[in-house]
Amino acid sequence: MGEVIVVTSGKGGVGKTTTTANVGTGLAKLDKKVVLIDTDIGLRNLDVVMGLENRIVYNLVDVVENNCRIRQALIKDKRYPNLYLLPSAQTRDKSAVTPEQMKKLADELREEFDYIIMDCPAGIEQGFQNAIAGADSALVVTTPEVSAVRDADRIIGLLEANEMKNTHLVVNRLRTDMVKRGDMMSSDDVVEILAVDLIGVVPDDENIVVATNNGEPLVGSNSLAGQAYMNICRRLLGEEVPLLDLNARNGIVNKLASLFKKN
Amino acid sequence: MDNSVIIKGTKSGIIVVLNAVITFEELKEAFIKKFEEASDFLGSTQVAVSFEGRALSLDEEKELLSLISKHSKLRVVCLVETDPLKEQKMEKALGEKLLEIEKNTGQFYKGNLRSGQVVEAEHSIIVLGDVKAGAKIISTGNIIVLGTLSGTAFAGSKGNTNAFVLALDMRPTQIRIASLIARSPDNPVKEKEKKTKIVYVEDGNIYMEEFNKNVLDDIRLN
């Protein structure tokens, strides 16, 4: 029986979709059978981040409305054969799907996949309700900014109210230099405010922008963010992985080293 | 009261119910009498007329119509056929004719189609603007984009494999023609220059090539 994980944040732009793409790809890299579901109906972009936009024929709404079978709508990833994407519809809105339908869909996919990862839209309206409906656990993504943390707190409250068993925190786009100067909250500060389990800290990394634009998740690469995401995947599988030393910044030596490793 | 001719009013005109048993001469007499009586009531409006209850020859119809104009102030604009079979036939013929016209005509769409927007047409469509990534254009005929096509285009959506897609700047996410689907390459070569290209089906494959005079000769409409 597979596990359904919802990636959510409340606030927009903190990295839900990036986290979904990287965690999903990372789990597939670790030989798990994974399906990513974009529940952001009307503003889909997980397909773009995964570089699979040109393969879309059917989407989530088509599946729910029985215009096609689930199999037909699942897009196989171009890198990992055990990774699939169920894209969202672009021409509809959140009300095209109900939480009950999402739960049914998740339960059907549970039979076949090890992990079903839902990319939740920003906000706490129906899109959010749809995304969390079938989920067993949640990854709450936040950046170390008061606004994002405030929204994350609200989301965690809503998840608790919906009897979510497991809630994990991902602190995204952390800048150690700013934390050192005291200009940014540290991950510890965020954990203290939100009082939930921390599952990973992802540094602010310009490689993410490049990877997103190319439609290639960077999980598992030598970049710090890539390693951080891989560690999150390992922890999801139950491994004990120490937090990454984010101070080991990608200096020139590291960059050279990674060049050699690639070859 | 003589009921061999009855006048019924409807929204758009009058229905004249005729006795089928009496001779045409008798009928005419009753007809004149009825219309003279009702002339004031009917007034001088423009009406559509239909005859019911009796099979009439073309000449008889003509005669009755001239009697109406002679013995009342009504102006008959048209005679409406009430035979349901004939009506169906006419409707069908009209529909087919309209469809034929549609096949050979196109519809213009002015403006950019942005992500999430869909334009669906029952004939060929010409877009005066861009079709952006995430937008979709569907046509039962051909699609011509006088701008950049970076979204999805679906030509010949009812199965016409002769349909084509043409764009001044062709960089689509996906193109469908009839039941075939082609997608953009995963690592597209970045073309700086805008190139007018045409996408069409040949031998069950979708092809894209630069647009030139020779291609024009190969285009078959419908």
Strand order from edge to edge, sheet including B152-155: B118-121, B136-139, B152-155, B174-177, B180-183
Is the Cβ of A42 closer than 8 Å to some Cβ of chain B?
A: yes
> Quick one: pLDDT at residue B1?
58
Instruction: State percent of chain B over pLDDT 70.
Output: 89
pLDDT at B195 over 90: no
Q: What is the CATH number of domain A3-262?
A: 3.40.50.300
Pair of tokens at residue A181: 């100067």
Reported confidence tier of residue A170, pLDDT bands at 50, 70, 90: very high
Is the Cβ of B181 closer than 8 Å to some Cβ of chain A?
A: yes
**Sign of the torsion formed by the C-alpha atoms of A86, A87, A92 and A93:** positive
Reported confidence tier of residue B12, pLDDT bands at 50, 70, 90: low
Does residue A10 contact residue A155 with C-beta atoms inside 8 Å?
yes
Q: Classify burial at A155, counting beta carbons within 10 Å of its beta carbon; exposed 0-12, middle 13-18, buried 19 or more.
A: buried
The domain limits of chain B are 5-82, 105-218
> Quick one: pLDDT at residue B86?
64
Instruction: State percent of chain B over pLDDT 90.
Output: 37
What is the CB neighbour count within 10 angstroms for residue A202? 28
The Cα B36–Cα B184 span in angstroms is: 77
Pair of tokens at residue A48: 């773009």
> Quick one: pLDDT at residue A247?
72
Instruction: State percent of chain A over pLDDT 90.
Output: 89
What is the architecture of the domain spanning B105-218? 3 Solenoid (2.160)
**Chain B residues within 8 A of A51 when measuring between CB atoms:** 186
A186 or B57, greater pLDDT? A186
Over residues A87-139, the pLDDT tens digits come to 999 999 999 999 999 999 999 999 999 999 999 999 999 999 999 999 999 99
CA distance B137 to chain A (A): 12
Q: Classify burial at B76, counting beta carbons within 10 Å of its beta carbon; exposed 0-12, middle 13-18, buried 19 or more.
A: middle
pLDDT at A226 over 80: yes
Reported confidence tier of residue A76, pLDDT bands at 50, 70, 90: very high
**Chain A residues within 8 A of B117 when measuring between CB atoms:** 91
Q: Classify burial at B185, counting beta carbons within 10 Å of its beta carbon; exposed 0-12, middle 13-18, buried 19 or more.
A: exposed
CA angle, B152 then B154 then B160, to 5°: 165
Reported confidence tier of residue B52, pLDDT bands at 50, 70, 90: confident
Is the Cβ of A91 closer than 8 Å to some Cβ of chain B?
A: yes
The Cα A170–Cα A200 span in angstroms is: 5
> Quick one: pLDDT at residue A245?
79
Is the Cβ of B186 closer than 8 Å to some Cβ of chain A?
A: yes
**Adjacent-strand bridge partners of B175:** B153, B182
**Chain A residues within 8 A of B136 when measuring between CB atoms:** 90-91
How many angstroms separate the Cα of B41 from the Cα of each of B36, B65, B91, B200? 10, 18, 33, 65
Mean pLDDT of chain A: 92
Identify from A49, A53, A57 which residue to disrupt to test chain B contact, counting B C-beta atoms within 10 A and taking the largest count: A53
Answer yes or no: do B183 and A51 touch at CB < 8 A: no
Answer yes or no: do B186 and A56 touch at CB < 8 A: no
Judged by average pLDDT, the poorest of A129-143, A223-237, B1-15 is B1-15
The Cα B128–Cα B112 span in angstroms is: 8
Q: Which of B133, B136, B186 sits opposite A78 (nearest CB)?
A: B186
CA distance B103 to chain A (A): 26
pLDDT at A235 over 90: yes
Does residue A27 contact residue A74 with C-beta atoms inside 8 Å?
no
- Among all residues of chain B, which has the CA nearest to that of A93? B116
Over residues B19-48, the pLDDT tens digits come to 888 888 888 888 888 888 888 888 777 777
The residue type found at A193 is: I
Helices and strands in chain A, H and E counts: 12, 8
DSSP β-ladder status, B180-183 and B165-170: unpaired
Answer yes or no: do A90 and B181 touch at CB < 8 A: no
Longest dimension (CA), chain A: 55
Residue with tokens 């016409």: B160
Q: Provide mean pLDDT across the span A198-220.
A: 94
**Chain A residues within 8 A of B181 when measuring between CB atoms:** 57
Q: Provide mean pLDDT across the span B65-86.
A: 78
pLDDT at B11 over 60: yes
Q: What is the CATH number of domain B5-82?
A: 3.30.750
B207 or B193, greater pLDDT? B207
> Quick one: pLDDT at residue A172?
96
Q: Provide mean pLDDT across the span A216-227.
A: 93
pTM greater than the 0.80 cutoff? no
The Cα A97–Cα A93 span in angstroms is: 8
